[in-house]
Structure 1
Amino acid sequence: MSGAASDLGWLTARPIAHRGLHDRTRGIPENSLAAFRAAVEGGYAIECDIHRTRDGVPVVFHDHDLERLTGRTGTIDALSAAEVADLRLFDTEEAPPTLAELLELVDGRVPLVVEAKGIDAATDAGFMADVAPVIEGYHRPLALMSFDEWLLDQTDGIGVPIGLTAEGTRADVLERHRAVFERRCAFVSYNVHHLPNAFVTWAREERGAPVITWTVRTPADFAQTEAHADQMTFEGFTP
Structure 2
Amino acid sequence: MRIPENSFLRTTPIAHRGLHDIKKGIPENSYAAYQAAIDKNYAIEMDVRFSKDGKLVVFHDDTLDRTTEAKGPAISKTRNELLELHLQGTQQKIPVFEEFLEFVGGKAPLLIELKNVPERKDLVRATLAALKNYKGEFALQSFQPKYVYQMKKQAPQILRGQLATIPLKEESMPAVQKWALKNMPFHFLTKPDFISFNIANLPFSKARRKNALLLGWTARTEEEYLRVKPMIDNVIFEYITPEKL
Task: Tell me whether the two structures share a fold, i.e. TM-score over 0.5.
Answer: yes
Question: How far apart, CA to CA, are the structure 1 residues paired with 2:232 and 2:19?
Answer: 21
TM-score, normalized by length of structure 2? 0.86
Match of 1:237 in 2: 240
Task: Report the residue type matching 1:45 in the other structure.
Answer: A
Q: 1:81 to 1:181 in 2, by over 3 A?
A: farther
TM-score, normalized by length of structure 1? 0.88
Question: How far apart, CA to CA, are the structure 2 residues paired with 1:181 and 1:221?
Answer: 31
CA deviation vs aligned residue, 1:5-39 (integer Å, no higher than 9, x gap):
44262212111101000111111100001100000
What is the aligned counterpart of 1:214 among 217, 225, 230? 217
Structure 1 gaps, min length 5: none
**Percent of aligned pairs with the same residue?**
33
Match of 1:166 in 2: 164
Match of 2:198 in 1: 191
Q: 1:79 to 1:174 in 2, by over 3 A?
A: closer
Q: 1:181 to 1:13 in 2, by over 3 A?
A: farther
Match of 1:104 in 2: 102
Question: How far apart, CA to CA, are the structure 1 residues paired with 2:181 and 2:143?
Answer: 13
Corresponding position: 1:133 with 2:129 = yes
RMSD: 2.2
Q: 1:181 to 1:117 in 2, by over 3 A?
A: farther
Match of 1:144 in 2: 140
Question: How far apart, CA to CA, are the structure 2 residues paired with 1:181 and 1:66?
Answer: 35
What is the aligned counterpart of 2:4 among 7, 10, 24? 7
* CA displacement at 1:115 relative to structure 2: 0.6
Question: How far apart, CA to CA, are the structure 2 residues paired with 1:235 and 1:181?
Answer: 32
Kept in 2, the 8 Å contact 1:169–1:194? The answer is no
Task: Report the residue type matching 1:217 in the other structure.
Answer: R
Question: How far apart, CA to CA, are the structure 1 residues paired with 2:21 and 2:167?
Answer: 31
CA deviation vs aligned residue, 1:77-108 (integer Å, no higher than 9, x gap):
12111111111101111111011122111111
Corresponding position: 1:70 with 2:77 = no
Task: Report the residue type matching 1:40 in the other structure.
Answer: I
Further displaced range: 28-37 or 175-184: 175-184
Match of 1:35 in 2: 33
